[in-house]
Structure 1
Amino acid sequence: MPWPEAMTPVRMRRVALVVPQAALRDALVRIAREGCVELDRAEEAAPGPAAVRLQRLRGRGGADGPRADTTAVLAAVAPDLDLLEQRRGAGLLAGEAQLEERADGAVRRGEVTALAGWCPAGEVARVAGRLAAAGGALLTLPTPRGTDPPTLLRPRGPVSFTPLVTTYGTPAYGDLDLSWPAGLAYLAMFGIMFGDVGHGALLLLGALALRLGRPRRLARWTRLWPFMAGAGLAAMLAGAAYGEFFGPTGLLPVLWLSPLDSPARLLVAAVLFGAGLLALAHAAGAVNRVREAGWGVGLYAASGCAGLLFYVGLATAAAGLLTHRPAVAVTGAALAGAGLALVAYGLFRDTAGGGAGLAETAVRLFDVVVRTGTNTLSFARLAAFGLTHAALADVVWRGTTGLAARGGAAVAGAVLVFTVGTAVSFGLEVLVAGVQALRLEFYEVFSRLFETEGRPFRPWHVPPAEPADRDTKVVPCSPG
């Protein structure tokens, strides 16, 4: 797959399911089993016969009470709804209720019925082949003007960072799919704050246990194991650079710097790392603005090309001043000024004009400048929490060696201090580093990447009820 395509959500096609009225139920059952099509649903449709019976069944309580989690299933042949109600077949009734809801959105002309929806482009041919057996067809339609398709981020196999993006919100259909870059940035920030080879190894072991489903009470969190494993690996790499192994034990050489001995260097490195990350976020945000609304908006947006020019110019001017190169500083200042002028024009264009528009533009432009500086300096927290982590580990190690030096029974106390102190500092710092990295990702990075929220792709999927059908091999929907 070419990388430009891999960096975008799954391509969607507007489709129409066309089928004879007599075969509508069979076609819908096939669509439900495929789980690859999101069908349009009728607004404020009255409950159908199956939905009414399901409500009565739940209202009476019993095994399928009002709070029961009923798993919907669909029979290949239309069942007797009264018999299902008598036998408390809540699963089949729930499936029939969903089928009725989709069927209510159908358009009927004579003997032909049609439903519209969305389907991943790569799955259209396969789903159409399944529908042909029911006498139906799946036709592609032009995308309606002013309507964005639903967004489906590409699956990446067993390791996926899409939850990091979808927790913030659903990207617009035209935006870039930055799940992997965002995930790697998160892990890098976590590692800087939690740099310790020993602590990282504990995280890596925890990720392995989670991947294997141990302990079982945490099985629902299994999908988070890539984050834990990546965080552990990042912490080990940063710890090797710091020379930290359960604190400054001296067991590892310092490959780059010791946080407690060189806090200023770590602070500068954190801010520079943040500046580079924000520049990349500005560049990706500029691409998103152009893809969302064209060059007219993308050129002047604060999170678009104008904002990128302003930030790059500001960084260039700062680098020129710090390195005592006046020409570089002047060039950067000129670029920053040009970018800020474009941002001001874009802001003014969104106002009603006149004096009120100028005042509003001035206030919003001041906010853009202030936020640019504060967002960059906000990455200093990477160094601050990295220093805190190193200091806590140093306290634990000093207490351990101080007791161990006394010999005798004090050695047991030293072991206890090391175990308890490491557990407390590990638990506290892993929580702090995880939350702070997420905070930087959301507020400093994602706020520049995503401005328009999309709608998630929700395909309709109901499994078959018949055991024979369950044993039949069904190719799963794999739009990526």
Structure 2
Amino acid sequence: MRRVAVVAPEQALRESLVRIAEAGCVEIDLAGDGGPDVRGPAATRLRRLRSEPVRPVLSGVRPDLDALEREGRTDLLAGEAQVEERLGGAVRHGAVAALAGWCPETEVGPTAARIAGAGGALVPLRTPRGVDPPTLLTGAEPASPADGATSVRRSFTPLVTTYGTVPYADLDPTMAAGVVYVVMFGLMFGDAGHGLLLVALALLLRAGRPRRTAALRPLWPFVAGAGLAATLAGVAYGEFFGPTGVLPVLWLEPLEEPMRLLASAVELGAVLLALAYAAGIVNRWREGGPSAALYATTGIAGAALYLGLAVLAGYVWLGRPAYGVAGALIALAGLALAGTGLYATTAGGPGGAVQIGVQLFDVVVRIGSNVVSFARLAAFGLTHAALGAIVWDGATALAGRGPAGAVAAVLVLLLGNALAFSLEALVAGVQALRLEFYELFSRLFEGEGRPFRPWRLPVEHLTAAPVREAGPSAPREAVGHGGPVREEEP
């Protein structure tokens, strides 16, 4: 993201702004002392007319505001009011005016060329000290249908933006967060039949069917990924609409080996927490330098404590004294670093020491609870398998009771799977989101950034009609599909 200035002669500033709004890739700073009571001519007319919110539209040429008011063109008046708001925040020196803002690095050149035709210029500036640029996650912008990678990234973006805006200095976790989410969802929703239904639902979304779900179409890669993960987990579990025997068990059968599944879930959680600490170290370094990364409980200090506790757990599990000594030393080093960092935020003295002790105890407890929390991957996977087994057992019990029993068995199988699919999809989706937000994202982010909000408005290019004759100095009126537009005689 680059700090930029829009510079243009006073008479060319409006047209430059129109071209910027049409491109939609520049966020323009608004005047700090402006407000709702500071209104220009267009805003005043709009207030007299508007009874409900309208979608602003810009006129390609300077419009006749009185004519727009007579025609009730609140959309064009709303667009012109936004232009007035930005013109009011411009800095003027003689006949030149300038506005500051932000623009993505890749768009600076094309935008500069775009407004050059109007007589304006886009000038890169140095980023002010102490000011973080706004954040634009890669993939948050619209993607073309042919750009598969951007489509996938864009479908994962709501996972991150729902939690908050990523600080500009931090890593972009979009793709990693999406992959981790679908893996966790698949482990809890492990059934090949149900997973394939999710894939089919994703393909329907991609095709825009049903039409009322068209707004969800960009999310189809996300739904397809979750369905594929659930299908693969179902193949590993031998589940296809329950324990029907259609698929062999390739890894484990959840209801027969629950402890093995539980241990695998906790191990996966431990690995994910380690990766979250690694990303947290990078983020703290980029945010505040080496000292911030060293002493933060989500940086090197927290990672050392986590590693030490993990080695101590290995000692308890394997009974090797060397693991116990090494784990204790690493954990104590992590506690010392974290305590030093926390002490700097206190008022010192006995009260500060008590505060540090409570906070360090909380850090240790949270590490243990966060690791154990991943056991829910196994718990809800077992729940899904149990529901499938209940439905299958009920269907097979009815199937041997004549024609009526066969019909009842089919109904039980269909309705039971529909219920299990709906209930477990909701539960697995919520639980995967909870693990991502509380266990992982809490280590990645310590603050929140500001989202990049470019000024983007559609532009209505009026088509000039034959004009009536007028005197040499009188204005002439051109009428287009957007209403009358006043044009001055050259």
Query: When the two structures are superposed, what TM-score results if normalisation uses the length of structure 1?
Result: 0.92
Once residues 122 and 227 of structure 1 are traced to their aligned partners in structure 2, the CA distance between those partners, rounded to angstroms, is 27
Partner residue of 2:52 out of 59, 67, 70? 67
1:254 partnered with 2:238: no
Uncovered stretches (5+) of structure 2, i.e. residues with no partner: 140-148, 465-490
Alignment check: 8 A CA contact 2:166 2:449 kept: yes
Question: CA shift at 1:30, angstroms?
Answer: 1.1
1:417 partnered with 2:428: no
1:55 partnered with 2:47: yes
Alignment check: 8 A CA contact 2:60 2:462 kept: no
Once residues 350 and 71 of structure 1 are traced to their aligned partners in structure 2, the CA distance between those partners, rounded to angstroms, is 48
Alignment-derived partner of residue 473 in structure 1: none
Partner residue of 2:25 out of 36, 39, 45? 36
Alignment-derived partner of residue 157 in structure 1: 150
Secondary structure (helix, strand or coil) at the match of 2:7 reads strand
| 1:426-472: CA deviation from partner (whole Å, max 9, x where unpaired) | 10000000000001101111111111100000011111102779xxx
Partner residue of 2:350 out of 345, 355, 364? 355
Once residues 223 and 229 of structure 1 are traced to their aligned partners in structure 2, the CA distance between those partners, rounded to angstroms, is 11
Question: CA shift at 1:316, angstroms?
Answer: 2.1
Once residues 201 and 333 of structure 1 are traced to their aligned partners in structure 2, the CA distance between those partners, rounded to angstroms, is 48
The letter for the 1-side match of 2:92 is: R
Structure 1 residues 285, 317: closer, same or farther in 2, change over 3 A?
A: same
Moved more, 77-86 or 311-320: 311-320
1:231-242 alignment runs, 5 A limit: 231-242=226-237
| 1:131-184: CA deviation from partner (whole Å, max 9, x where unpaired) | 221222111111111100000011252212111101100010000001000101
The letter for the 1-side match of 2:265 is: A
Uncovered stretches (5+) of structure 1, i.e. residues with no partner: 1-11, 59-65, 470-480
1:274-285 alignment runs, 5 A limit: 274-285=269-280
Question: CA shift at 1:217, angstroms?
Answer: 1.3
Alignment-derived partner of residue 305 in structure 2: 310
Alignment-derived partner of residue 113 in structure 1: 97
Once residues 313 and 90 of structure 2 are traced to their aligned partners in structure 1, the CA distance between those partners, rounded to angstroms, is 62
Secondary structure (helix, strand or coil) at the match of 2:295 reads coil
1:408 partnered with 2:403: yes
1:148 partnered with 2:132: yes
The letter for the 2-side match of 1:57 is: L
Partner residue of 2:71 out of 80, 84, 87? 87
Alignment-derived partner of residue 291 in structure 2: 296
Question: CA shift at 1:329, angstroms?
Answer: 3.1
Once residues 180 and 79 of structure 1 are traced to their aligned partners in structure 2, the CA distance between those partners, rounded to angstroms, is 45
| 1:386-409: CA deviation from partner (whole Å, max 9, x where unpaired) | 000000000000000000022221
Question: CA shift at 1:378, angstroms?
Answer: 0.5
| 1:269-295: CA deviation from partner (whole Å, max 9, x where unpaired) | 111111110110011011111111111
Alignment check: 8 A CA contact 2:262 2:378 kept: yes
Secondary structure (helix, strand or coil) at the match of 1:18 reads strand
Question: CA shift at 1:323, angstroms?
Answer: 2.5
Secondary structure (helix, strand or coil) at the match of 1:191 reads helix
Alignment-derived partner of residue 106 in structure 2: 122
| 1:226-276: CA deviation from partner (whole Å, max 9, x where unpaired) | 221111000001111111011111111111100000000011111111111
Query: When the two structures are superposed, what TM-score results if normalisation uses the length of structure 2?
Result: 0.90
Structure with larger Rg: 2
Question: Number of aligned pairs?
Answer: 450
1:270 partnered with 2:265: yes
The letter for the 1-side match of 2:52 is: R
The letter for the 1-side match of 2:47 is: Q
Partner residue of 2:192 out of 193, 197, 210? 197
Partner residue of 2:88 out of 104, 114, 121? 104
Alignment-derived partner of residue 366 in structure 1: 361
Once residues 40 and 290 of structure 2 are traced to their aligned partners in structure 1, the CA distance between those partners, rounded to angstroms, is 48
The letter for the 2-side match of 1:95 is: G
Secondary structure (helix, strand or coil) at the match of 1:409 reads helix
Question: CA shift at 1:350, angstroms?
Answer: 0.9
Alignment-derived partner of residue 16 in structure 1: 5
1:186 partnered with 2:181: yes
Alignment-derived partner of residue 172 in structure 1: 167
The letter for the 2-side match of 1:233 is: L
1:430-445 alignment runs, 5 A limit: 430-445=425-440
Once residues 350 and 189 of structure 1 are traced to their aligned partners in structure 2, the CA distance between those partners, rounded to angstroms, is 36
The letter for the 2-side match of 1:28 is: L
Alignment-derived partner of residue 395 in structure 1: 390
Alignment-derived partner of residue 6 in structure 1: none
Secondary structure (helix, strand or coil) at the match of 2:59 reads coil
Alignment check: 8 A CA contact 2:59 2:462 kept: no
Once residues 246 and 260 of structure 1 are traced to their aligned partners in structure 2, the CA distance between those partners, rounded to angstroms, is 15
The letter for the 2-side match of 1:15 is: V
| 1:193-223: CA deviation from partner (whole Å, max 9, x where unpaired) | 0000000001110111111111111111222
Once residues 128 and 466 of structure 1 are traced to their aligned partners in structure 2, the CA distance between those partners, rounded to angstroms, is 21
% identical aligned pairs: 62
Quote the RMSD (CA, aligned, Å). Answer: 1.3
Once residues 355 and 213 of structure 1 are traced to their aligned partners in structure 2, the CA distance between those partners, rounded to angstroms, is 64
